[in-house]
Structure formats: structure tokens, C-alpha cells
């Protein structure tokens, strides 16, 4: 590889940390816009995601995005679909004997896949999935659920309930993680613990009595795993055969 004077210069070194404004000559595309949007979320969280910020990171103005994307709503949907497309969902060759563990693994993967992108899960709440990669995830989940001896109606509603749980938990977990990441946040969580412990037992006898278990987080995933276990056990209880 040789450089001649007419070659474009290689990109200059730059401080990491903040997103670089990309070469404005490479044309915009949905792909690049979604890349930039996810980079913003990964770097600074969902609240930092704005059309103006994405445009600036791409070295252009906000109006330019609207040639490729209908608006912020569609951009969020595209981000979710991109994340769905990265989920490795092994076609699990549904095995009735290992059904419960297979369902749990599926929901866990969803949960953790979302958690890789901070609080992006918030944008996934209450969205009807219509984008292709997301539909693939649902279809695979349905395939798995159908191997569990459940009625079609239970399978259908369970394919709503389980992702709802994965998403809501990922959102809550992301806020928890975010808080624990900063010194003030860690302080705040300790204060909350102390606050609950100090609550007047006359007015809140049960909170006072259970302050320990209420605050207990043996592992970061313990609460998530508990709810997942409850839901899967409940589904098993609805088996017809």
C-alpha cells in the first residue's frame, strides 16, 4: 500500500470519548443513521439521543436526516430492529424435556441483548413489533412456546408477556446499573436502603419487617431470574396435556 499525493488523507487521530463527525462526503443512509443513533445511546443513553445530535455526529444538519427516516419515532424503531437482528437466537430444536430451560434462555438473551444498549429498552416498551428482525425473534419464540403443550391462545399471549417482562426488566436494570456506576448514584442507593430501614414500623410494619429481603440483590440478575422463574412456572401450570 503506497500513498500518492492525490490520495485522500487518512483520518487524523482524534480524542476518543465523543463521537467523531464523520466524513461528510460518504452519503447518508438509513444504515449510517442507525449506526450513529445506537452509538449515541451506547455512549450517553437514550435521553441523549436526538435528531440534532445524530446529525451533528454525522457531520450534517438535522434536516438532512428526514430524507432517510420519517422522524424520531421511526429511527427508534429502526434501532430496536437493529438490536433484534444482533440477537443470536439458536433455533433451539424444541425439546419438551428441556422446554422450561429453553424458554428461560430465550428470554434471558432478549433481556441481556437489550441491556447491551443502556436504557434503549425504554423505547421498546409499548411498541407493536412490525420490523423484520424483531418479527423473526417473535416467530422463533412462538416456535419454542408451541413445543410446551400449551393452547394456541396461551402461546400467543405468552409471546407478548415474556418479551414485555424482558423489556421492562431490562429498562429497570439499566437504570439500576447506571445509578450504581456513579459515586453519587451509589450513595443514593445506599441512602434509599437506609431510608427503608428507618421507616416507622408503626405506619409501615411490613416494609420494616422485610427491609432485608426487599433490598437483597445477591446478583445483578437475581430479581430478573426470580420473575422469569415465576412466569415460566405459571405457564407450566397452564399446560393442557
Partner DNA sequence: ACCTGAACACCGTTCAAGT
Where on the chain is the footprint of a copy of itself (CB under 8 A)?
122, 125-126, 128, 130, 135-136, 138-140, 142-143, 146, 152-161, 164-165, 168-169, 171-172, 175, 192, 195, 199, 203-207, 209-210, 212-214, 216, 223, 226-227, 229-238
Nearer Cβ to a copy of itself (19/161): 161
Nearer Cβ to a copy of itself (76/232): 232
What is the Cα–Cα distance from 143 to 139, expressed in whole angstroms?
6
Instruction: Judge residue 113's burial from the number of C-beta atoms within 10 Å of its C-beta, 0-12 exposed, 13-18 middle, 19 or more buried.
Output: buried
CB of 111 to a copy of itself, least distance (A): 13
Per CB under 7 A, the segment of 70-78, 134-142, 167-175, 179-187 that binds DNA is 70-78
CB of 121 to a copy of itself, least distance (A): 10
Q: Does 27 contact DNA by CB under 7 A?
A: yes
Radius of gyration of the chain (CA): 23
Tell which residue, 226, 228, 238, 237, has the closest CA to residue 107.
Answer: 228
CB of 228 to DNA, least distance (A): 33
Site for DNA in 29-58 (CB under 7 A): 48-53
Could you say which of 28, 80, 107, 211 contacts DNA (CB under 7 A)? 28
Tell which residue, 50, 46, 54, has the closest CA to residue 83.
Answer: 46
Q: Does 120 contact DNA by CB under 7 A?
A: no
Picked from a copy of itself, DNA, none, the partner binding residue 61 (CB below 5 to 8 A depending on kind) is DNA
What is the Cα–Cα distance from 37 to 101, expressed in whole angstroms?
34
Write down how long the chain is: 241
Picked from DNA, a copy of itself, none, the partner binding residue 67 (CB below 5 to 8 A depending on kind) is DNA
Nearer Cβ to a copy of itself (23/178): 178
CB of 177 to DNA, least distance (A): 22
Nearer Cβ to DNA (8/27): 27
What is the Cα–Cα distance from 60 to 25, expressed in whole angstroms?
10
Helices (H), the chain: 30-44, 51-57, 72-86, 99-115, 121-124, 132-146, 152-181, 183-197, 205-209, 211-215, 222-237
Q: How far is CA 8 from the centre of its chain?
A: 39
Q: Is the Cβ–Cβ distance between 179 and 186 less than 8 Å?
A: yes
Q: Does 21 contact DNA by CB under 7 A?
A: no
Tell which residue, 161, 163, 158, has the closest CA to residue 148.
Answer: 158
Nearer Cβ to a copy of itself (75/232): 232
Q: What is the dihedral of CA 56, 57, 62, 66, to 10 degrees?
A: 170
Give residues in contact with DNA (CB under 7 A). 24, 27-28, 48-53, 60-64, 66-68, 71-73
Amino acid at each position: 500500500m503506497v500513498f500518492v499525493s492525490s490520495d485522500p488523507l487518512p483520518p487524523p487521530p482524534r480524542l476518543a470519548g465523543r463521537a467523531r463527525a464523520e466524513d461528510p462526503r460518504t452519503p447518508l443512509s438509513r444504515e449510517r443513521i442507525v449506526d450513529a443513533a445506537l452509538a449515541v445511546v451506547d455512549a450517553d443513553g437514550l435521553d441523549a439521543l436526538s435528531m440534532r445530535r445524530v446529525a451533528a455526529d454525522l457531520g450534517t444538519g438535522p434536516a438532512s436526516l428526514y430524507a432517510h427516516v420519517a422522524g424520531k419515532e421511526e429511527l427508534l424503531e429502526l434501532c430496536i430492529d437493529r438490536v433484534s437482528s444482533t440477537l443470536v437466537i439458536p433455533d433451539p430444536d424444541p425439546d419438551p424435556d428441556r422446554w422450561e430451560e429453553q424458554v428461560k434462555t430465550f428470554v434471558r438473551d432478549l433481556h441481556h441483548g437489550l441491556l447491551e444498549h443502556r436504557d434503549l429498552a425504554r423505547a421498546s416498551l409499548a411498541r407493536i413489533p412490525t420490523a423484520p428482525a424483531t418479527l423473526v425473534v417473535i416467530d422463533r419464540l412462538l416456535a419454542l412456546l408451541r413445543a410446551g403443550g400449551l393452547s394456541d391462545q396461551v402461546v400467543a399471549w405468552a409471546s407478548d408477556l415474556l418479551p414485555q417482562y424482558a423489556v421492562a426488566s431490562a429498562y429497570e436494570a439499566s437504570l439500576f446499573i447506571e445509578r450504581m456506576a456513579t459515586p453519587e448514584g451509589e450513595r443514593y442507593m445506599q441512602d434509599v436502603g437506609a431510608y427503608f430501614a428507618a421507616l416507622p414500623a408503626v405506619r409501615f410494619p411490613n416494609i420494616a419487617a422485610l427491609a432485608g429481603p426487599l433490598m437483597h440483590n445477591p446478583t445483578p440478575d437475581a430479581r430478573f431470574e426470580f420473575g422469569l422463574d415465576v412466569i415460566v412456572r405459571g405457564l407450566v401450570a397452564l399446560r393442557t396435556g
